[in-house]
A = this chain, B = another copy of it.
Amino acid sequence: MQPVMRTDGVNPPWTMHREPLLHPEDSIYQWYCQADEEITTIYANFHGADPNRELTEINVRKCCFYPDKTGRNYITVQGFEMAQAACPWTPPTADQPGLLGVNWSKGWIIENNIIHDAKCSGISIGKEMSTGHNDCTLYHRKPGYHYQMEAVFAARQIGWSKETIGSHIIRNNEIYDCGQNGIVGHMGCVFSTIERNHIYNIAVKHEFFGYEIAGIKLHAAIDVQILRNHIHHCALGTWLDWQAQGTRVSKNLYYGNDRDLMIEVTHGPCIVDNNIFASDYNFDNIAQGTAYLHNLCCGTMRKEAVLDRSTPYHYPHSTEIAGVSFVYSGDDRIYQNIFLGGAVTYTPQSKYGTSDYNGHPASMEEYVDTITSLGNGDHEQFQSVSQPVYIDRNVYLNGAGSYEKEAVFYMSPSSPNVNISEEDGRVYLEITVEQGLLDLNTKLYATDDLGAPRITEAIFDSPEGNMISFDTDYLDQPRNAQPTAGPIETLQAGANKIRVW
Protein backbone atom coordinates (compact mmCIF):
# COMPACT_ATOMS: atom_id res chain seq x y z
CA MET A 1 0.00 0.00 0.00
CA GLN A 2 2.81 2.34 0.80
CA PRO A 3 5.77 1.17 -1.28
CA VAL A 4 9.24 2.44 -0.52
CA MET A 5 11.88 2.61 -3.17
CA ARG A 6 14.35 -0.25 -2.97
CA THR A 7 17.86 0.41 -4.19
CA ASP A 8 19.40 -3.03 -3.93
CA GLY A 9 18.42 -6.68 -3.69
CA VAL A 10 19.49 -9.89 -2.04
CA ASN A 11 22.26 -11.97 -3.60
CA PRO A 12 23.25 -15.54 -2.69
CA PRO A 13 25.20 -15.37 0.58
CA TRP A 14 28.51 -16.54 -0.89
CA THR A 15 28.65 -13.43 -3.12
CA MET A 16 28.97 -11.34 0.05
CA HIS A 17 27.40 -8.20 -1.39
CA ARG A 18 23.95 -6.90 -2.12
CA GLU A 19 23.16 -6.15 -5.73
CA PRO A 20 22.03 -2.65 -6.74
CA LEU A 21 18.77 -2.46 -8.65
CA LEU A 22 19.13 -1.42 -12.26
CA HIS A 23 16.09 0.87 -12.10
CA PRO A 24 15.40 1.56 -8.40
CA GLU A 25 12.78 4.17 -9.27
CA ASP A 26 10.59 1.42 -10.74
CA SER A 27 10.53 -0.44 -7.45
CA ILE A 28 7.70 1.66 -6.16
CA TYR A 29 5.42 0.47 -8.93
CA GLN A 30 3.79 -2.40 -7.11
CA TRP A 31 0.36 -3.88 -6.73
CA TYR A 32 -1.48 -5.24 -3.80
CA CYS A 33 -4.56 -7.34 -3.50
CA GLN A 34 -7.33 -7.89 -0.95
CA ALA A 35 -10.00 -10.53 -1.34
CA ASP A 36 -13.10 -11.39 0.60
CA GLU A 37 -15.70 -13.98 -0.31
CA GLU A 38 -17.17 -12.00 -3.13
CA ILE A 39 -14.84 -9.20 -4.14
CA THR A 40 -11.17 -9.02 -5.02
CA THR A 41 -9.75 -5.53 -4.75
CA ILE A 42 -6.52 -4.76 -6.56
CA TYR A 43 -4.50 -1.72 -5.64
CA ALA A 44 -1.89 -0.74 -8.19
CA ASN A 45 0.50 2.04 -9.03
CA PHE A 46 -0.29 3.24 -12.53
CA HIS A 47 2.74 5.45 -13.15
CA GLY A 48 0.63 8.57 -13.23
CA ALA A 49 -1.79 7.24 -15.82
CA ASP A 50 -5.52 7.07 -15.20
CA PRO A 51 -6.49 3.41 -15.34
CA ASN A 52 -10.12 4.29 -15.99
CA ARG A 53 -9.23 6.10 -19.19
CA GLU A 54 -6.32 3.96 -20.41
CA LEU A 55 -6.40 0.36 -21.51
CA THR A 56 -5.80 -1.72 -18.39
CA GLU A 57 -5.04 -5.40 -18.69
CA ILE A 58 -5.18 -7.76 -15.75
CA ASN A 59 -4.03 -11.18 -16.77
CA VAL A 60 -3.65 -14.44 -14.90
CA ARG A 61 -2.38 -16.59 -17.74
CA LYS A 62 0.33 -19.00 -16.69
CA CYS A 63 1.92 -19.26 -20.10
CA CYS A 64 1.66 -17.75 -23.56
CA PHE A 65 2.62 -20.86 -25.51
CA TYR A 66 3.22 -24.06 -23.62
CA PRO A 67 1.82 -27.53 -24.42
CA ASP A 68 -0.54 -28.94 -21.87
CA LYS A 69 0.85 -32.43 -22.37
CA THR A 70 4.42 -33.69 -22.58
CA GLY A 71 5.95 -35.24 -25.67
CA ARG A 72 4.73 -32.70 -28.27
CA ASN A 73 7.75 -32.85 -30.56
CA TYR A 74 9.19 -30.93 -33.50
CA ILE A 75 7.31 -27.64 -33.21
CA THR A 76 8.73 -24.39 -34.61
CA VAL A 77 7.91 -21.06 -32.92
CA GLN A 78 9.12 -18.28 -35.15
CA GLY A 79 8.70 -14.54 -35.34
CA PHE A 80 6.37 -13.83 -32.42
CA GLU A 81 6.36 -11.22 -29.72
CA MET A 82 5.14 -12.84 -26.52
CA ALA A 83 4.89 -10.98 -23.24
CA GLN A 84 3.24 -10.75 -19.81
CA ALA A 85 2.66 -14.17 -18.36
CA ALA A 86 2.20 -14.97 -14.69
CA CYS A 87 4.37 -18.06 -14.91
CA PRO A 88 5.50 -19.58 -11.60
CA TRP A 89 8.91 -20.09 -10.01
CA THR A 90 10.93 -22.75 -11.87
CA PRO A 91 13.38 -24.56 -9.62
CA PRO A 92 14.98 -27.81 -10.83
CA THR A 93 12.86 -29.82 -8.40
CA ALA A 94 9.46 -28.75 -9.74
CA ASP A 95 7.47 -28.51 -12.93
CA GLN A 96 9.16 -25.73 -14.93
CA PRO A 97 6.69 -23.90 -17.13
CA GLY A 98 7.86 -20.71 -18.82
CA LEU A 99 6.11 -17.94 -20.69
CA LEU A 100 7.09 -20.00 -23.74
CA GLY A 101 8.26 -23.59 -23.49
CA VAL A 102 8.40 -27.16 -24.72
CA ASN A 103 7.14 -29.21 -21.71
CA TRP A 104 9.41 -32.24 -21.92
CA SER A 105 9.49 -32.59 -25.69
CA LYS A 106 12.03 -32.97 -28.48
CA GLY A 107 13.26 -31.00 -31.43
CA TRP A 108 11.64 -27.57 -31.13
CA ILE A 109 13.01 -24.57 -32.99
CA ILE A 110 12.40 -21.26 -31.20
CA GLU A 111 13.81 -18.43 -33.30
CA ASN A 112 13.42 -14.77 -34.11
CA ASN A 113 11.00 -14.09 -31.26
CA ILE A 114 10.78 -11.23 -28.80
CA ILE A 115 10.06 -12.52 -25.30
CA HIS A 116 9.64 -10.24 -22.33
CA ASP A 117 7.96 -9.61 -19.01
CA ALA A 118 7.66 -13.16 -17.83
CA LYS A 119 6.95 -13.11 -14.11
CA CYS A 120 9.59 -15.84 -13.71
CA SER A 121 11.15 -17.56 -16.77
CA GLY A 122 10.91 -16.49 -20.39
CA ILE A 123 11.71 -19.67 -22.30
CA SER A 124 11.63 -23.07 -20.63
CA ILE A 125 13.25 -26.27 -21.90
CA GLY A 126 13.00 -27.87 -18.48
CA LYS A 127 11.56 -30.62 -16.35
CA GLU A 128 7.98 -31.87 -16.17
CA MET A 129 5.98 -32.51 -13.03
CA SER A 130 5.92 -36.27 -12.43
CA THR A 131 9.64 -36.45 -11.64
CA GLY A 132 9.13 -34.24 -8.59
CA HIS A 133 7.26 -31.09 -7.72
CA ASN A 134 8.38 -29.03 -4.72
CA ASP A 135 8.59 -32.13 -2.53
CA CYS A 136 11.02 -30.67 -0.03
CA THR A 137 8.89 -27.58 0.53
CA LEU A 138 5.78 -29.70 0.86
CA TYR A 139 7.06 -32.60 2.95
CA HIS A 140 10.50 -31.81 4.44
CA ARG A 141 11.34 -35.52 4.27
CA LYS A 142 14.54 -35.04 2.27
CA PRO A 143 16.43 -31.91 1.16
CA GLY A 144 15.89 -30.34 -2.24
CA TYR A 145 19.34 -31.58 -3.22
CA HIS A 146 18.21 -35.13 -2.56
CA TYR A 147 14.96 -34.76 -4.49
CA GLN A 148 16.92 -33.33 -7.41
CA MET A 149 19.17 -36.40 -7.41
CA GLU A 150 16.08 -38.64 -7.39
CA ALA A 151 14.59 -36.59 -10.23
CA VAL A 152 17.52 -37.52 -12.47
CA PHE A 153 16.88 -41.23 -11.94
CA ALA A 154 13.11 -40.81 -12.17
CA ALA A 155 13.59 -39.03 -15.49
CA ARG A 156 15.45 -42.06 -16.82
CA GLN A 157 12.39 -44.11 -15.84
CA ILE A 158 10.10 -41.97 -17.96
CA GLY A 159 12.46 -42.14 -20.90
CA TRP A 160 14.86 -39.22 -20.58
CA SER A 161 17.21 -39.88 -23.48
CA LYS A 162 18.60 -38.42 -26.67
CA GLU A 163 15.96 -40.41 -28.54
CA THR A 164 13.02 -38.66 -26.83
CA ILE A 165 13.90 -35.37 -25.11
CA GLY A 166 15.80 -32.17 -25.91
CA SER A 167 17.78 -31.30 -29.05
CA HIS A 168 16.06 -27.93 -29.25
CA ILE A 169 17.38 -24.91 -31.12
CA ILE A 170 16.85 -21.49 -29.50
CA ARG A 171 18.36 -18.77 -31.63
CA ASN A 172 18.14 -15.12 -32.57
CA ASN A 173 15.62 -14.30 -29.87
CA GLU A 174 15.50 -11.12 -27.81
CA ILE A 175 14.65 -11.89 -24.18
CA TYR A 176 14.40 -9.26 -21.47
CA ASP A 177 12.63 -8.08 -18.34
CA CYS A 178 11.97 -11.51 -16.84
CA GLY A 179 11.86 -12.03 -13.09
CA GLN A 180 13.89 -15.21 -12.79
CA ASN A 181 15.43 -16.53 -16.02
CA GLY A 182 15.69 -15.67 -19.66
CA ILE A 183 16.06 -19.33 -20.51
CA VAL A 184 15.64 -22.11 -17.97
CA GLY A 185 15.77 -25.87 -18.10
CA HIS A 186 16.56 -28.94 -16.04
CA MET A 187 17.17 -32.11 -18.06
CA GLY A 188 14.76 -31.14 -20.82
CA CYS A 189 17.54 -28.97 -22.25
CA VAL A 190 19.91 -31.78 -23.22
CA PHE A 191 21.57 -31.70 -26.64
CA SER A 192 20.18 -28.22 -27.36
CA THR A 193 21.80 -25.24 -29.04
CA ILE A 194 21.28 -21.71 -27.67
CA GLU A 195 22.73 -19.30 -30.17
CA ARG A 196 22.81 -15.57 -30.99
CA ASN A 197 20.18 -14.60 -28.42
CA HIS A 198 20.13 -11.16 -26.85
CA ILE A 199 19.31 -11.56 -23.15
CA TYR A 200 19.21 -8.68 -20.70
CA ASN A 201 17.52 -7.18 -17.65
CA ILE A 202 16.87 -10.57 -16.09
CA ALA A 203 15.98 -10.53 -12.38
CA VAL A 204 17.25 -7.00 -12.00
CA LYS A 205 14.03 -5.94 -10.26
CA HIS A 206 14.95 -8.40 -7.50
CA GLU A 207 11.36 -9.34 -6.84
CA PHE A 208 12.34 -12.83 -5.75
CA PHE A 209 15.16 -14.51 -3.97
CA GLY A 210 16.28 -18.01 -4.63
CA TYR A 211 19.19 -19.99 -6.01
CA GLU A 212 17.79 -20.37 -9.49
CA ILE A 213 18.22 -16.92 -11.04
CA ALA A 214 20.23 -16.18 -14.22
CA GLY A 215 20.01 -15.05 -17.82
CA ILE A 216 20.43 -18.69 -18.75
CA LYS A 217 19.99 -21.24 -15.96
CA LEU A 218 20.41 -24.85 -16.94
CA HIS A 219 20.68 -28.05 -14.91
CA ALA A 220 22.01 -31.18 -16.58
CA ALA A 221 22.96 -29.29 -19.74
CA ILE A 222 24.46 -32.36 -21.38
CA ASP A 223 26.04 -31.45 -24.73
CA VAL A 224 24.25 -28.08 -24.74
CA GLN A 225 26.00 -25.48 -26.94
CA ILE A 226 25.71 -21.86 -25.76
CA LEU A 227 27.11 -19.84 -28.64
CA ARG A 228 27.42 -16.20 -29.70
CA ASN A 229 24.86 -14.85 -27.22
CA HIS A 230 24.82 -11.32 -25.92
CA ILE A 231 24.07 -11.34 -22.20
CA HIS A 232 24.18 -8.19 -20.13
CA HIS A 233 22.55 -6.55 -17.12
CA CYS A 234 21.50 -9.81 -15.54
CA ALA A 235 21.80 -10.74 -11.88
CA LEU A 236 23.89 -13.64 -13.19
CA GLY A 237 24.70 -14.14 -16.85
CA THR A 238 24.73 -17.91 -17.14
CA TRP A 239 24.50 -20.66 -14.50
CA LEU A 240 25.40 -24.21 -15.41
CA ASP A 241 24.37 -26.34 -12.46
CA TRP A 242 24.87 -30.12 -12.16
CA GLN A 243 25.94 -32.29 -15.13
CA ALA A 244 27.32 -29.60 -17.44
CA GLN A 245 28.95 -32.43 -19.34
CA GLY A 246 29.79 -31.93 -23.00
CA THR A 247 28.55 -28.36 -22.53
CA ARG A 248 30.26 -25.55 -24.44
CA VAL A 249 30.08 -21.80 -23.77
CA SER A 250 31.71 -20.18 -26.77
CA LYS A 251 31.95 -16.73 -28.38
CA ASN A 252 29.47 -15.09 -26.02
CA LEU A 253 29.56 -11.49 -24.88
CA TYR A 254 29.02 -10.85 -21.15
CA TYR A 255 29.11 -7.43 -19.46
CA GLY A 256 27.23 -5.38 -16.95
CA ASN A 257 26.14 -8.49 -15.07
CA ASP A 258 26.43 -8.76 -11.31
CA ARG A 259 28.16 -12.04 -12.08
CA ASP A 260 28.91 -13.47 -15.54
CA LEU A 261 29.17 -17.25 -15.25
CA MET A 262 28.66 -19.82 -12.53
CA ILE A 263 29.49 -23.51 -13.01
CA GLU A 264 28.45 -25.71 -10.12
CA VAL A 265 28.77 -29.31 -8.92
CA THR A 266 29.73 -30.77 -12.27
CA HIS A 267 32.73 -32.76 -13.38
CA GLY A 268 33.42 -31.93 -17.01
CA PRO A 269 34.27 -32.10 -19.79
CA CYS A 270 32.95 -28.56 -20.19
CA ILE A 271 34.46 -25.97 -22.52
CA VAL A 272 34.45 -22.19 -22.05
CA ASP A 273 36.24 -20.59 -24.98
CA ASN A 274 36.53 -17.34 -26.89
CA ASN A 275 34.16 -15.41 -24.66
CA ILE A 276 34.31 -11.83 -23.47
CA PHE A 277 33.68 -11.62 -19.72
CA ALA A 278 33.67 -7.91 -19.02
CA SER A 279 31.88 -7.71 -15.67
CA ASP A 280 33.71 -7.38 -12.36
CA TYR A 281 32.73 -10.82 -11.03
CA ASN A 282 33.44 -13.28 -13.83
CA PHE A 283 33.28 -16.77 -12.39
CA ASP A 284 31.87 -18.80 -9.56
CA ASN A 285 33.82 -21.98 -10.27
CA ILE A 286 32.28 -24.59 -7.99
CA ALA A 287 33.11 -27.30 -10.49
CA GLN A 288 35.93 -29.40 -11.88
CA GLY A 289 37.00 -30.55 -15.31
CA THR A 290 36.39 -27.33 -17.26
CA ALA A 291 38.62 -26.10 -20.09
CA TYR A 292 38.95 -22.31 -20.41
CA LEU A 293 40.60 -21.16 -23.62
CA HIS A 294 40.99 -17.81 -25.33
CA ASN A 295 38.69 -15.86 -23.05
CA LEU A 296 39.03 -12.24 -22.07
CA CYS A 297 38.46 -12.17 -18.28
CA CYS A 298 38.17 -8.65 -16.90
CA GLY A 299 37.05 -9.63 -13.42
CA THR A 300 37.57 -12.23 -10.72
CA MET A 301 37.18 -15.96 -10.25
CA ARG A 302 35.99 -17.60 -7.04
CA LYS A 303 36.85 -21.31 -6.81
CA GLU A 304 35.51 -23.80 -4.25
CA ALA A 305 35.21 -27.52 -3.60
CA VAL A 306 32.01 -29.33 -2.54
CA LEU A 307 32.64 -32.38 -0.39
CA ASP A 308 29.18 -33.01 1.05
CA ARG A 309 27.05 -33.26 -2.09
CA SER A 310 27.69 -35.75 -4.86
CA THR A 311 26.17 -35.18 -8.30
CA PRO A 312 25.86 -37.47 -11.32
CA TYR A 313 27.94 -37.75 -14.43
CA HIS A 314 27.15 -39.58 -17.64
CA TYR A 315 28.50 -41.72 -20.41
CA PRO A 316 29.67 -39.38 -23.18
CA HIS A 317 26.88 -37.85 -25.26
CA SER A 318 24.24 -39.79 -23.38
CA THR A 319 21.82 -39.32 -20.51
CA GLU A 320 22.79 -42.72 -19.12
CA ILE A 321 24.35 -42.21 -15.71
CA ALA A 322 27.94 -43.40 -15.24
CA GLY A 323 28.52 -42.46 -11.60
CA VAL A 324 28.25 -39.74 -8.99
CA SER A 325 31.01 -37.66 -7.42
CA PHE A 326 31.90 -34.81 -5.14
CA VAL A 327 33.61 -31.74 -6.54
CA TYR A 328 37.24 -31.73 -5.42
CA SER A 329 38.02 -28.44 -7.25
CA GLY A 330 40.68 -28.14 -9.91
CA ASP A 331 41.15 -30.51 -12.85
CA ASP A 332 40.67 -27.42 -15.04
CA ARG A 333 42.51 -26.58 -18.26
CA ILE A 334 43.35 -22.87 -18.69
CA TYR A 335 45.12 -21.86 -21.88
CA GLN A 336 45.72 -18.64 -23.76
CA ASN A 337 43.26 -16.46 -21.91
CA ILE A 338 43.77 -12.80 -21.06
CA PHE A 339 43.27 -12.02 -17.36
CA LEU A 340 42.92 -8.52 -16.00
CA GLY A 341 43.39 -7.29 -12.46
CA GLY A 342 41.78 -4.30 -10.87
CA ALA A 343 38.11 -5.16 -10.64
CA VAL A 344 36.29 -4.66 -7.37
CA THR A 345 36.19 -7.86 -5.25
CA TYR A 346 33.53 -8.97 -2.85
CA THR A 347 34.74 -12.25 -1.38
CA PRO A 348 38.09 -13.37 0.06
CA GLN A 349 38.30 -16.13 -2.56
CA SER A 350 37.75 -13.78 -5.50
CA LYS A 351 41.04 -13.70 -7.39
CA TYR A 352 42.36 -12.10 -10.56
CA GLY A 353 44.13 -14.58 -12.84
CA THR A 354 45.03 -18.14 -11.95
CA SER A 355 47.07 -17.80 -8.77
CA ASP A 356 44.26 -19.36 -6.79
CA TYR A 357 45.31 -22.70 -8.35
CA ASN A 358 48.63 -22.59 -6.51
CA GLY A 359 49.08 -25.75 -4.50
CA HIS A 360 47.50 -27.97 -7.16
CA PRO A 361 49.82 -30.44 -8.88
CA ALA A 362 50.54 -29.78 -12.53
CA SER A 363 50.04 -33.31 -13.86
CA MET A 364 48.14 -36.53 -13.25
CA GLU A 365 51.46 -38.29 -12.61
CA GLU A 366 52.24 -35.91 -9.76
CA TYR A 367 48.75 -36.47 -8.39
CA VAL A 368 48.99 -40.27 -8.51
CA ASP A 369 52.43 -40.18 -6.89
CA THR A 370 51.02 -38.21 -3.98
CA ILE A 371 48.08 -40.58 -3.60
CA THR A 372 50.34 -43.61 -3.74
CA SER A 373 52.67 -42.15 -1.16
CA LEU A 374 49.81 -42.16 1.36
CA GLY A 375 49.70 -45.98 1.40
CA ASN A 376 46.56 -48.11 1.32
CA GLY A 377 43.30 -46.28 1.89
CA ASP A 378 39.95 -45.50 0.37
CA HIS A 379 37.98 -42.35 -0.46
CA GLU A 380 39.21 -40.36 2.57
CA GLN A 381 42.72 -40.23 1.07
CA PHE A 382 41.53 -38.75 -2.18
CA GLN A 383 39.80 -35.94 -0.30
CA SER A 384 43.12 -34.75 1.08
CA VAL A 385 44.99 -34.37 -2.22
CA SER A 386 44.40 -31.46 -4.60
CA GLN A 387 43.56 -32.39 -8.15
CA PRO A 388 45.95 -31.52 -10.98
CA VAL A 389 45.45 -28.43 -13.14
CA TYR A 390 46.76 -27.66 -16.59
CA ILE A 391 47.57 -23.97 -17.05
CA ASP A 392 49.79 -22.41 -19.67
CA ARG A 393 50.33 -19.58 -22.18
CA ASN A 394 48.00 -17.08 -20.52
CA VAL A 395 48.29 -13.31 -20.39
CA TYR A 396 48.16 -11.49 -17.03
CA LEU A 397 47.68 -7.73 -16.99
CA ASN A 398 47.25 -5.00 -14.42
CA GLY A 399 47.94 -7.15 -11.38
CA ALA A 400 46.37 -10.45 -12.33
CA GLY A 401 48.45 -13.36 -10.97
CA SER A 402 49.71 -16.48 -12.69
CA TYR A 403 49.74 -20.13 -11.55
CA GLU A 404 53.00 -20.96 -9.84
CA LYS A 405 53.89 -23.80 -12.22
CA GLU A 406 52.88 -22.07 -15.44
CA ALA A 407 55.75 -22.43 -17.88
CA VAL A 408 54.93 -19.89 -20.57
CA PHE A 409 52.96 -16.71 -19.97
CA TYR A 410 52.98 -12.97 -20.54
CA MET A 411 52.60 -10.62 -17.59
CA SER A 412 52.48 -6.84 -17.55
CA PRO A 413 51.51 -4.38 -14.83
CA SER A 414 49.86 -1.97 -17.22
CA SER A 415 46.15 -1.84 -17.80
CA PRO A 416 44.68 -2.56 -21.26
CA ASN A 417 41.88 -0.08 -20.58
CA VAL A 418 39.15 -2.47 -21.66
CA ASN A 419 35.86 -0.79 -22.36
CA ILE A 420 32.52 -2.07 -23.68
CA SER A 421 30.39 0.58 -25.29
CA GLU A 422 27.10 0.61 -27.11
CA GLU A 423 26.26 2.85 -30.04
CA ASP A 424 22.98 2.54 -31.94
CA GLY A 425 22.46 -1.05 -30.91
CA ARG A 426 26.00 -2.01 -31.86
CA VAL A 427 28.47 -3.03 -29.19
CA TYR A 428 32.19 -2.33 -29.28
CA LEU A 429 35.14 -3.68 -27.35
CA GLU A 430 38.00 -1.25 -26.79
CA ILE A 431 41.32 -2.65 -25.64
CA THR A 432 44.91 -1.40 -25.66
CA VAL A 433 47.45 -4.08 -26.48
CA GLU A 434 51.19 -4.31 -25.87
CA GLN A 435 53.42 -5.96 -28.43
CA GLY A 436 54.55 -8.49 -25.78
CA LEU A 437 51.08 -9.95 -25.63
CA LEU A 438 51.14 -10.49 -29.37
CA ASP A 439 54.55 -12.14 -29.18
CA LEU A 440 53.53 -14.75 -26.62
CA ASN A 441 54.54 -18.27 -27.67
CA THR A 442 51.14 -19.84 -28.26
CA LYS A 443 49.83 -22.87 -30.15
CA LEU A 444 46.61 -24.09 -31.72
CA TYR A 445 44.87 -26.15 -29.06
CA ALA A 446 42.60 -29.05 -29.90
CA THR A 447 40.82 -31.99 -28.24
CA ASP A 448 43.99 -34.04 -28.08
CA ASP A 449 45.74 -31.40 -25.96
CA LEU A 450 43.10 -31.44 -23.24
CA GLY A 451 43.13 -35.03 -21.97
CA ALA A 452 40.10 -36.10 -19.95
CA PRO A 453 38.81 -35.03 -16.53
CA ARG A 454 39.85 -37.34 -13.73
CA ILE A 455 36.32 -38.33 -12.73
CA THR A 456 34.41 -38.60 -15.99
CA GLU A 457 37.27 -39.89 -18.17
CA ALA A 458 35.51 -38.43 -21.20
CA ILE A 459 37.36 -36.33 -23.76
CA PHE A 460 36.64 -32.72 -24.73
CA ASP A 461 34.98 -33.51 -28.05
CA SER A 462 31.92 -32.17 -29.88
CA PRO A 463 28.39 -33.46 -29.24
CA GLU A 464 28.73 -35.55 -32.41
CA GLY A 465 31.93 -37.12 -31.06
CA ASN A 466 34.18 -35.19 -33.41
CA MET A 467 37.50 -33.63 -32.44
CA ILE A 468 37.46 -29.91 -31.71
CA SER A 469 40.15 -27.51 -32.87
CA PHE A 470 40.15 -24.01 -31.41
CA ASP A 471 40.91 -22.57 -34.79
CA THR A 472 38.45 -19.69 -35.05
CA ASP A 473 38.02 -16.65 -32.84
CA TYR A 474 35.10 -14.76 -31.32
CA LEU A 475 34.40 -13.17 -34.70
CA ASP A 476 34.68 -16.55 -36.48
CA GLN A 477 37.93 -15.43 -38.02
CA PRO A 478 40.48 -18.20 -38.60
CA ARG A 479 43.26 -18.50 -36.05
CA ASN A 480 46.89 -18.36 -37.07
CA ALA A 481 49.27 -21.23 -36.34
CA GLN A 482 50.53 -19.14 -33.43
CA PRO A 483 47.23 -17.60 -32.41
CA THR A 484 46.64 -14.50 -30.33
CA ALA A 485 45.69 -15.05 -26.68
CA GLY A 486 42.16 -14.01 -25.82
CA PRO A 487 39.05 -14.03 -27.99
CA ILE A 488 40.15 -11.72 -30.83
CA GLU A 489 42.73 -13.00 -33.31
CA THR A 490 43.29 -9.69 -35.10
CA LEU A 491 44.37 -7.52 -32.19
CA GLN A 492 46.94 -4.89 -33.06
CA ALA A 493 49.54 -3.32 -30.85
CA GLY A 494 48.09 -0.15 -29.41
CA ALA A 495 44.43 0.81 -29.23
CA ASN A 496 41.81 -1.48 -30.77
CA LYS A 497 38.11 -0.89 -31.20
CA ILE A 498 36.25 -3.94 -32.42
CA ARG A 499 32.57 -4.44 -33.04
CA VAL A 500 31.50 -7.41 -30.95
CA TRP A 501 27.67 -7.41 -31.52
Contact = CB atoms under 8 A, between A and B. Distances in A.
A146 B378 CA distance: 9
Interface in A124-174: 128-130, 139-146, 149-150, 153-154, 156-159, 161-164
Interface stretch (A64-72, A77-85, A438-446): A64-72
Interface stretch (A235-243, A321-329, A390-398, A408-416): A321-329
A68 B70 CA distance: 11
11 contacts: A69-B130, A140-B372, A141-B454, A143-B379, A144-B379, A146-B323, A146-B325, A149-B323, A153-B320, A162-B318, A163-B316
Interface stretch (A17-25, A33-41, A303-311, A471-479): A303-311
Interface in A48-98: 68-73
Interface string A293-314: 0000000000000011110000
A400 to B, nearest CB: 32
Nearest to A209: B376
Contacts of A3: none
Given A69-B69, A130-B69, A464-B466, A320 B163 contact: yes
Nearest to A370: B140
Interface of A: 68-73, 128-130, 139-146, 149-150, 153-154, 156-159, 161-164, 307-310, 315-316, 318, 320-325, 364, 368, 371-372, 377-383, 454-455, 464-466
Contact of A140 (B140, B159, B368, B464): B368
Contacts of A308: 307-308, 379-380, 383
Contacts of A150: 322-323
Nearest to A377: B143
A494 to B, nearest CB: 42
